[in-house]
Amino acid sequence: MLDRSIYGAQEIILVYGITSYQMKKVSEESETQPLVTLVGNKIDLEHNRTVKPEKHLRFCQENGFNSHFVSAKARDSVFLCFQKVVAEILGIKLNKAEIEQSQRVVKADIVNYNQEPMARAVNPSRSCVCAVG
């Protein structure tokens, strides 16, 4: 039945949730094999992860699949995943600017709260940097 569903397909995208340990091997014989991409979803739930990234990557390597991790809920890396899939189908190599364009940018305001004056200024010209990754 799978061969009828994917007849003429150029790409198959398999998506699973990283919080569930159900990953099965898919193999079908046909004259032209479509590209297969395995997408680990729900990366926003890292604290509930049961499928380790190493297991995902090893499974992809063993089966010749492309690999991506996304969060559909948080919209993290979804566009980039599809952009890479389409680029591979078309035989286009994405450049660094095209890849970075779809990455999420977090904007933050720096708030300077008034604090009680310190008895002694340790380093008054010191500056602070905050990075969110």
Listed by start position, the domains of the chain span 2-102
What CATH number has the domain spanning 2-102?
A: 3.40.50.300
Q: What is the pLDDT of residue 6?
A: 63
Angle at CA of residue 39, ends 36 and 40, nearest 5°: 150
End-to-end CA distance of the chain: 44
Averaged confidence pLDDT in the chain: 77
Residue-wise pLDDT tens digits, 19-34: 776 655 444 554 566 7
Q: What is the pLDDT of residue 21?
A: 64
pLDDT at residue 44 is higher than 60: yes
Confidence of residue 67 (pLDDT cuts 50, 70, 90): very high
The predicted model scores a pTM of 0.58
Rounded to whole angstroms, the Cα distance separating 18 from 52 reads 8
The mean per-residue pLDDT over the stretch 112-131 comes to 60
Tokens matching residue 62 = 């063993």
